[in-house]
């Protein structure tokens, strides 16, 4: 069986790393197309998951428009999808790479397996393409790997055939457990600042990268962090996303403030190490919402809504939007005792076995394809 995995951003590498490994272990020949959308955030990830890139795209980072990125990736994927070359293409999530990769495969009659299928915000009128990408990928896919029952329901409501949907959990949990296993036995963080964080402070991790928050909402979130820094018992640690608009706003508001550390984006194992030491997280990241429950962490989500409502329902997440008082009150509540207030509940996004289930199911692609012929 020959599989092509297509990815282009940090979260995709993290979430497809375990799938790559599981497919390999099952004996598949796995090629990888890397579009390079997040070329500046991939440090250490390929090595961690022992991923060998077979094909690297060019020019995607430099292309300013979304349509231009989409066209470039589609074209570069097209060059790889010659007749009979692959039994399947695997994509993940909702990025331009995933959408363009799925479309290119569909147009070449190569079955698509979509990892993290069925997430929905219900908002197609957003200026950002993620919801459109999710729906496009669903239409182009043959196998749909839903992380939860809720995502399965979304797919069923859109008319996807039930036997083509598998609820497998989210591979973010597989990746996290894999990375966490590397922390055992005295992990020395790669980032020197992380290695030297004081032990006598309550660590509050923050990650902020949503484009919808840029401007006034992000300013209010940053004011809240600034106020929390003044409390004195906490240390706010914020790896700053390289998006120049975000970076400029964060540095302007939080540079040289007491008890706030602005860091470069962290390598994944350092980030996981930091999660393991944190008391709470203030975040707009999708991946962090899936990871935090494995550590029992209660987090504050700086968004008005989430396409991962399971984290809220399970009691791990609270939506605070950009409300300064909700953020400061939430963080103070979660740092008010002498030890982190961890929830002993299970992670609603799975048990870390998603990639194995996905690999097993992908091996059923060939009979599916034959039946269709
Ligand atoms: N992450 C990382 N280093 C950092 C910040 C985040 O490795 O400095 C990881 C994090 O563990 C998670 C993923 O990056 O798995 C989340 O990426 P991001 O928030 O950029 O994207 P999203 O998940 O919102 O699509």
For residues 149 and 243, membership in a common domain is answered with no
Q: Is residue 341 part of a domain?
A: no
Distance CA 173, CA 179 (A): 10
Q: Lowest-pLDDT range, 121-135, 231-245, 323-337?
A: 121-135
Q: Is residue 175 part of a domain?
A: no
Q: For the whole prediction, is pTM greater than 0.90?
A: yes
Total domains, the chain? 2
For residues 49 and 138, membership in a common domain is answered with yes
Q: Is residue 93 part of a domain?
A: yes
Ligand 1 centroid, distance to 267 Cα (angstroms): 9
Q: Whose CA is nearest to atom 12 of ligand 1?
A: 287
**In b/e form, how buried is each residue of 288-314, taking b as 16+ CB within 10 angstroms?**
bbbbbbbbebbbbbbbeebbbbbbbee
Q: Catalytic residues, which ones?
A: 94, 116, 130, 209, 211, 241
Among 285, 302, 349, residue to substitute to test ligand 1 (most atoms within 8 Å of Cβ): 285
pLDDT of 234 > 60? The answer is yes
Average pLDDT estimate for 234-251 = 96
Percentage of the chain surpassing pLDDT 90? 90
Residues with CB under 6 A from ligand 1: 10-11, 14, 207, 209, 239, 265-266, 268, 271, 285-288, 291
Q: Is residue 176 part of a domain?
A: no
Q: Is residue 185 part of a domain?
A: no
What is the extent of the structural domain holding 274? 190-334
For residues 140 and 228, membership in a common domain is answered with no
Q: Which CATH number belongs to the domain containing residue 295 in this structure?
A: 3.40.50.2000
Q: Is residue 348 part of a domain?
A: no
Distances (CA, A) of 164 to 121, 161, 167, 360, 365: 22, 6, 10, 13, 10
ipTM for the whole complex = 0.98
Atom of ligand 1 lying closest to residue 284 CA: 24
């Amino acid at each position: 069986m020959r599989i092509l995995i297509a990815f282009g951003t940090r979260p995709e590498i993290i979430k497809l790393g375990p799938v790559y490994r599981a497919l390999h272990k099952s004996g598949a020949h796995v090629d990888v197309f890397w579009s390079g959308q997040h070329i500046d955030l991939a440090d250490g990830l390929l090595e961690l998951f022992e991923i060998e890139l077979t094909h690297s795209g060019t020019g995607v980072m430099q292309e300013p428009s979304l349509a231009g990125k989409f066209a470039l990736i589609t074209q570069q994927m097209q060059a790889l999808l010659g007749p009979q070359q692959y039994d399947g293409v695997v994509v993940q999530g909702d990025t331009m790479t995933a959408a363009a990769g799925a479309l290119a495969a569909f147009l070449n009659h190569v079955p698509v397996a979509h990892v993290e299928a069925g997430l929905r915000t219900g908002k197609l009128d957003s200026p950002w393409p993620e919801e459109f990408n999710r729906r496009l990928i669903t239409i182009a896919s043959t196998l749909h790997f839903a992380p939860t029952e809720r995502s399965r329901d979304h797919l069923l409501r859109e008319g996807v055939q039930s036997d083509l949907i598998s609820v497998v959990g989210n591979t973010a949990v597989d990746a996290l457990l894999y990375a966490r296993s590397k922390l055992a036995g005295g992990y020395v963080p790669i980032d020197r600042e992380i290695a030297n964080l004081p032990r006598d402070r309550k660590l509050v991790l923050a990650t902020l990268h949503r484009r919808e928050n840029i401007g006034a909402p992000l300013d209010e979130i940053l004011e809240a962090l600034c106020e929390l820094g003044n409390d004195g018992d906490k240390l706010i640690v914020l790896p700053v996303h390289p998006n120049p608009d975000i970076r400029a706003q964060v540095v302007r508001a939080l540079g040289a403030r007491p008890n706030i550390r602005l860091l470069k984006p962290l390598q994944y194992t350092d980030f996981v190490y930091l999660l393991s030491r944190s008391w709470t997280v203030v975040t707009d990241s999708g991946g962090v919402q899936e990871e935090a429950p494995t550590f029992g962490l209660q987090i504050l989500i700086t968004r008005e809504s989430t396409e991962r409502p399971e984290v809220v329902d399970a009691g791990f997440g609270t939506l605070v939007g950009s409300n300064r008082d909700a953020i400061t009150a939430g963080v103070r509540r979660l740092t008010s005792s002498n030890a982190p207030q961890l929830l002993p509940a299970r992670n609603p996004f799975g048990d870390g076995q998603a990639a194995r289930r996905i690999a097993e199911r992908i091996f059923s692609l060939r009979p599916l394809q034959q039946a269709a012929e």
